[in-house]
């Protein structure tokens, strides 16, 4: 009878003695999500402070990485799901108490926003670039006009993107070291440092570095 207790309580596959939380797709997303959050945070921060020209890599060039990073990260998340075709169900409701719901909706908002942000600098950075459709030209003009306002929205979303994964993991009671309020700020700090490192690596401006 003791053996039955041990088997049912202490030898559950995937739980005890080893606990498999994720495989490589989740690790990839955590890195790319943090990188994106960090880059967008600094792009928005320097835009709000009026230092776009002094920090061209942070505000303009580095942001071109973000849409690709977010799309790859989202693809990795969906790939990791047992039933990927059901991923749309996350967007049928908003659960304010759920970190996963916060993350899903934040990704839904920040991904197109990052595309608009990078696209608004296309003609400035690539003078020969031409938006062939008038609607795209009008959209670009609109984004440029309200760029500071968009930066305020983007900096909030970047913080949520950087912090929600840590809060999500901190709710996992089976790992005592994870079940800690510091995990959210830790993930945010990690994302900001990753974004800063990417900007420094890309920049050729000593002052910006």
3-state helix, strand, coil in the chain (%, to 5): 70, 0, 30
CB proximity list for 137: less than 8 A, separation 6 or greater:
131
DSSP 63: G
Residue 19 banded pLDDT, cuts 50, 70, 90: low
Cα within 13 Å of Cα(121), Cβ side: 19
What DSSP assignment string belongs to 9-54? HH--TTTSS------HHHHHHHHHHHHHHHHHHHHHHHHHTT-TTT
Confidence class for position 7, pLDDT limits 50, 70, 90 = very low
Cβ-based burial of 73 (10 A; exposed 0-12, middle 13-18, buried ≥19): buried
Alpha-carbon distance 54 to 88, whole Å? 41
CATH superfamily entry for domain 23-202? Formate dehydrogenase/DMSO reductase domain (1.20.1630.10)
- pLDDT, tens digit (0-9, with 9 covering 90-100), for 76-92: 999 888 888 888 888 88
pLDDT of residue 1: 46
Model confidence pLDDT, tens digit, residues 26-47: 899 999 999 999 999 999 999 9
Domain ranges of the chain: 23-202
Mean pLDDT of 161-178: 82
**pLDDT, average across residues 138-158:** 96
Q: What is the pLDDT of residues 113-144, one digit of tens each?
A: 999 999 999 999 999 999 989 999 999 999 99
Mean pLDDT of 184-202: 94
Residue 92 has what pLDDT? 87
Distance from chain centroid for Cα 74: 9
Q: Provide the pLDDT for residue 205.
A: 82
Mean local confidence (pLDDT), 173-189:
82
């Amino acid at each position: 009878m003791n053996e039955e207790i041990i088997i049912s309580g202490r030898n559950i596959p995937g739980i005890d003695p080893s606990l498999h939380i994720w495989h490589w797709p989740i690790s990839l997303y955590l890195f790319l999500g943090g990188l994106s959050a960090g880059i967008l945070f600094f792009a928005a921060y320097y835009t709000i402070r009026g230092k776009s020209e002094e920090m061209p890599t942070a505000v303009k060039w580095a942001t071109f990485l973000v849409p690709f990073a977010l799309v790859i990260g989202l693809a990795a998340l969906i790939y990791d799901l047992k039933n990927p075709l059901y991923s749309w169900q996350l967007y049928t409701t908003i659960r304010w108490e759920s970190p996963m719901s916060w993350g899903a909706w934040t990704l839904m908002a920040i991904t197109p926003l990052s595309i608009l942000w990078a696209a608004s600098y296309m003609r400035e950075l690539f003078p020969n670039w031409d938006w062939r459709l008038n609607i795209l030209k009008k959209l670009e003009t609109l984004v440029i006009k309200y760029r500071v306002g968009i930066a305020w929205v983007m900096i909030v979303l970047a913080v949520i993107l950087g912090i929600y994964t840590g809060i999500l993991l901190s709710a996992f009671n089976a790992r005592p070291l994870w079940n800690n309020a510091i995990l959210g700020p830790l993930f945010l700090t990690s994302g900001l440092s990753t974004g800063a490192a990417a900007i420094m690596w890309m920049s050729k401006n000593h002052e910006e570095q």
